[in-house]
Structure 1
Amino acid sequence: MYPIILKVHLAVVAISLVIFLGRSLLALAGSAKAGHPLALKGAGAMLLLVLLSAAGLCVSIGQYPFVDGWLTEKLIGLVAYVALGIISLKRAGSKPVQLVLAAAALAAFAATFTVARQHAGFLL
């Protein structure tokens, strides 16, 4: 079952990233479509699927956040990615700030992906 859950998890993570990149580009271009209800629902659905598939992976390998350091870092990275992404899309005052926040969100994503790939954290 692990290989199937892993493939689903990787697919929804990739889709989530594509949605974020698309919405960020639209927002930077000044398009109202970045906040379209369908885009918001799609992003929320992908986040839910990321979390559900991650929970399935945790159960299948018997490792959990706040018990295993690398999973704790992965969870912190996910929260940082989502928070920075939301701020960059909804709360950023100017285009340069929005761009910096979007880049920070992508850096958090990259760090989280690295931790997940190596099954080893940077700090814990």
Structure 2
Amino acid sequence: MFVGWERSAGDCIAQLHLYAGRNPDDPQLTELIGELSLRSPQFRHMWGNPDVVCHSMGTKSFHHPLVGDLTLDYEVLDVSGDPDQTLVVYTPEPASPSAEALGLLGSWTGTPTDTATTPYQQAPATERQQRN
């Protein structure tokens, strides 16, 4: 799915290095790194040559099996109150082929009537007015 797999893998390993530095006594993390090191020569090589520069914004390319190549800008946002959580937001360039492809994918997800999910939203308009 990732175009430029090595760069994407390097970014993931950089994040893993940062997390490992912040949590050196995490037994599950130690187990994960050990297992990846045993099973993947590529991981072993990349883990042994760390590049822990993490980018807070940039562009990534993906390949979707139905709509083809997508180029998306991303921004990494910190979640206040929890240093182990981040939110990554991906957006296409407006009016780009990637924006059109994402629009096409979005059109396959459902109809506008599927969006009413809370009991308040599903209630008839007259009932909603009475509640207010």
TM-score (norm 1): 0.31
Bigger radius of gyration among the two: 2
Greater share of helix residues, 1 or 2?
A: 1
Bigger RCO (CA 8 Å, 6+ sep): 1
Greater share of strand residues, 1 or 2?
A: 2
TM-score (norm 2): 0.30
